[in-house]
Amino acid sequence: MNSPLDMEVLKTAQLASQESRASATPMMEQFIEIKAANPDSMLFYRMGDFYELFFEDAVDASRALGITLTKRGQHMGIDIPMCGVPVHAADDYLQKLIGLGFRVAVCEQVEDPAEAKKRGSKSVVKRDVVRLVTPGTITEDKLLSPSESNYLMALARVRGAGNNMALAWIDISTGVFRIAETDDQRLLADILAIEPRELILADNLFHDDELRPVMEVLGRIAVPQPAVLFDSAMAEGRITRYFDVATLEGFGNFSRVELAAAAAAIAYVEKTQIAERPPLGVPERLASSSTMFIDPATRANLELVKTLSGDRNGALLKAIDRTVTGGGARMLSERLMSPLTDPAAIAARQEAIAFLLAEPVLTDRLRDRLKRVPDMPRALSRLALDRGGPRDLGAIGAGLGAAREVSGLLSGHIGLPDELANALGDIEALPRAIEAHLGTMLADELPLLKRDGNFLREGAHAELDELRALRDQSRRVIAGLQLQYADETGIRSLKIKHNNVLGYFIEVTANNAGPLTEGEAKARFIHRQSMANAMRFTTTELADLESRIANAAGQALSIELEAFAAMTSDVVGSAEAIKKGARALAVIDVAAGLAALAEEQGYCRPIVDDSRMFNIVGGRHPVVEQALRRQSAGPFIANNCDLSPTQGQESGAIWLLTGPNMGGKSTFLRQNALIAILAQMGSFVPAGSAHIGVVDRLFSRVGASDDLARGRSTFMVEMVETAAILNQAGDRSLVILDEIGRGTSTFDGLSIAWAAVEHLHEVNRCRSLFATHFHELTQLSDKLARLANATMRVKEWQGDVVFLHEVGPGAADRSYGVQVARLAGLPAPVVQRAREVLDLLESSGSKKPTKQLVDDLPLFNIAVKREDVAKAASAPSRVEDSLKVLDLDDMTPRQALEALYALKQELGKV
């Protein structure tokens, strides 16, 4: 955005030199001054019905939005680039710009143009920025995903507090406000667990070399801000002023660094929302030990909310989401990203699911009612920020009505689990009077914008009904008055007419004017104009009616806007109760959705306790199982996994898993990690039974990737991630490792994998699944007491390998790589040559070719020559030979079918 042209313009504005002022029009002077105050934002400058953009903003916007770039005069001898977007369609353009990472300053006219004219014909209407639109501070429905939270996060560090760091995150669209401490090791994992749309931090912290790797991962969501926003000395005062309290003691005990992060988040909200204040909830402090630690690589590998390609289809969240409300979908995502470590809290969530699972009729009715619940927190936020419309009030009313129905369904059941009982209490505390008032006042069909009017119900306001009648039925009112005057005067030809000069007037022929000009009538009917054949009159009543008709629309809208403001005030005044009630509905939605999932997919309730157990019986991969069912590809093969401590041991076991590629090792590894996450988020799990001791840290190293931008090869990335696991895993951790050491030479890789297994066993003492193709590692089971061998079973038949996808005890004797290569479609000569080389290597007892082995495999004596390959490729197959001899014209259908079966058998032998 900061091109030489733009920087020169801003520099000119800041210096405010006489020369530049003289060269700019008053309007451009105003623009330059406002732009100088918002240099890092694209300025939407309101001019009539358009937001106009100038200079580099216009160039960037035209390119990003695909709109025409024009020009408007010159400034300092340079053509001024210009483009614009209609005000009524601004949200659509904002959505694109925010998605591309731009920040937008919305500059509105804050003065009536008529007032500006009073200061002189060349006076410019006063304008000012009323809002900064950034990715973390949007509230518009079009810009938000209903199922995803939209968090603004602040990162603070206070060196005087032991170099501690803290995170504070706010969703101004729902009012959620949370704080947690973090450290260097957890920082990136904690940020990615929340998935903020925007992260602010002090500019000196942004450029700190120690945090550079984190900033590189976060990319454009990290936005540096002046350090004064993060001043811990001013933090408490900023927070108390925002919440209008004298002290923070009622909110809880917060550390110095937590207050700095919370105050910075509030300061940024105030900076972007200018004069408006979103209804934020009281800051909620989260202890880092209360949730499972999942490092960034593990989140990516396990594809919790999106796949490695960035698609949400195919991720775990998509597979388990049966919620029917936006709030429920957001809560489910939060629970999935931050599984609990407290068995009692996990059990409370399970109890709610179990209760609803046992009450299918109640669950169906609840889900049916919940489908009609609008997104009340987001509607409430827009109303509080003066960005709401009639539909937001309607959403609050409809949500309160649906909540009342949900309350009626639950209140009739005794023995509700604590989670549902607490939710019911919050729902019953919702303001019923507001629901009734909104129902009385609001029409059935509501416009999007309050300025459109017609959102109050007929009968809600007597004066409004009269004004609407004047506005919408003026002809009928005038006709009634005309009939009245005709009866009073006895002049049947009397007409009430209208033109742009006189407005409404009474017209009679000259011959019939007597009754209007004589006696008492003369005082009532005021002469306006005489024509050749007619005379025109008015009355005080007609003039008053004309004025009322002319002003009816404006007065009607004024009454509606006044009523809108009153209703909004009532709603915002009950913000806390409405937010609590909305969250309670989300809790019920999540529990009902997970109950529906458990019923639909056959999930079981896991036992989660403080032990070191990890015993999964008949476990299944939740995503793959559903994919197979959709494709009608047969049932998923369930497998057991028992990493529980063996007799006499306190720590969990390590399984060393061997078997062929394509045999299902990676699926087996991932499914057990996903089952642990599902269990600790409080869900039922895809298994016959499950007993899991709380996992405090989950690590997964599955799959290969590189990081070329940072100069890291695939092997280097693998070693960095493995190092993080071995340095951080404890005895309560669950570690999933796949093919450690495969990115280097055979002996190097084997050595690294060997040492890693020993370290996991002796130092980390964690529960672990370790998949490998180094079959030599299986010998460690004789040396390491808690290590057991397991293998993916296969079956060979007629030279082919059949993958059974079953896990059993023991070790694989080979990897079947050549067979997999044939299935992948490698040319037959390559597969054949690979078999020959493999046979010789295995018979020699060495996996590392030596000169003698190379001599035994002469390139030109054994290797298939190019002409042999070409010949083999061009030679007809036995199937083709069989087809050539068939006389199709003389064959009966039965003979053709028999020939087809014969060809199929022939193909099976190839």
Q: Check if the beta carbon of residue 221 is closer than 8 Å to that of residue 191.
A: no
The string of DSSP letters for 165-190 reads EEEEEEETTTTEEEEEEE-TTTHHHH
Where are the alpha helices (H) located in 431-539, listed in sequence order? 432-441, 462-472, 474-489, 514-517, 521-524
At 607, give phi and psi (nearest 5°): -90, 125
The position carrying tokens 């199982």 is 625
Strands (E), 91-210: 104-109, 127-133, 152-158, 164-171, 176-182, 198-202
Binding-site annotation, residues: 659-666
Q: Check if the beta carbon of residue 182 is closer than 8 Å to that of residue 166.
A: yes
The DSSP output letter for 157 is E
Dist CA 639 CA 656 (whole Å): 15
Bridging pattern class, strands 607-609 and 689-693:
parallel
The string of DSSP letters for 562-607 reads HHHHHHHHHHHHTHHHHHHHHHHHHHHHHHHHHHHHHHHHT-BPPE
Residues pairing with 506 in the sheet: 496, 537
Q: Check if the beta carbon of residue 636 is closer than 8 Å to that of residue 797.
A: no
Residues pairing with 131 in the sheet: 106
Report the alpha-carbon angle 826-831-832, nearest 5. 150
The token pair at 133 is 């639109």
At 733, give phi and psi (nearest 5°): -80, 160
Residue type, 414: I
Other C-beta atoms closer than 10 Å to the C-beta of 870 total 11
Bridging pattern class, strands 787-797 and 127-133:
unpaired
Q: At what angle do helices 232-243 and 256-273 cross, to 10 degrees?
A: 60
Q: Look at residue 524 and give its three-state secondary structure.
A: helix
Q: Look at residue 156 and give its three-state secondary structure.
A: strand
DSSP H/E element including 419: helix 418-428
The four Cα atoms 633, 637, 638, 642 give a dihedral, to 10 degrees, of -140
Dist CA 658 CA 775 (whole Å): 7
Bridging pattern class, strands 127-133 and 104-109:
antiparallel
In terms of Cβ atoms closer than 10 Å to its own Cβ (0-12, 13-18, 19+), residue 642 is middle
**CB-based burial, 613-636: b 16+ in 10 Å, e otherwise:** bbbbebbbbbbbbbebeeeeeeeb
Q: How far is CA 419 from CA 280, 290, 323, 329, 625, in A?
A: 24, 18, 17, 17, 30
For 426: left if phi > 0, alpha if psi spans -120 to 50, otherwise beta; the answer is: alpha
Binding-site annotation, residues for ATP: 659-666
Nearest Cα residue to 376 out of 393, 390, 396, 394: 396
Residue 436 CB partners (closer than 8 Å, separation 6+)? none
Q: What share of the chain is helix, strand, coil (3-state, %, to 5)?
A: 50, 20, 30
The string of DSSP letters for 613-627 reads -EEEEEE--HHHHHH
